Amino acid sequence: MDPNIKDAVCNDWCDLLSQYTLDEVRGGVAAVFAASGGRLKSINEFQVQDQIQKAHKRFLATLPKQAEPDPERKPVDRETADEIMAEFGFRPRRFGDGDA
């Protein structure tokens, strides 16, 4: 293979796969060959990237789901707040009640 073509191919692979770790790239290459059932003569960087992304999706699927956020609470008016407090037997002392 011409050295210039080899450099260009190598640069393409590096540009596309540089965001992944070496172990991920090796795993992606192995997965491409395993998926082909031994019929594949050559691979390209996009096949490797696809296998890496599939592995990421499988990993993310194993993580626990995030809890549902609490429902949004809305403030109540003063009268409703007083009714709720009275329902539970709470009566605040107020200035001038004479119980002091």
| C-alpha distances out from residue 89 to 50, 77, 83, 92, 100, Å | 63, 19, 10, 10, 19
Per cent of the chain over pLDDT 70 is 95
Mean pLDDT of the chain: 86
pTM for this structure?
0.59
Interatomic CA distance for residues 25 and 29, integer angstroms? 6
Q: Per-residue pLDDT tens for 36-70?
A: 887 888 888 999 999 999 999 999 999 998 888 88
Predicted local distance difference test score (pLDDT) of residue 2: 79
> What are the structure tokens assigned to 36, written together?
């082909």
* Amino acid 97: pLDDT: 65
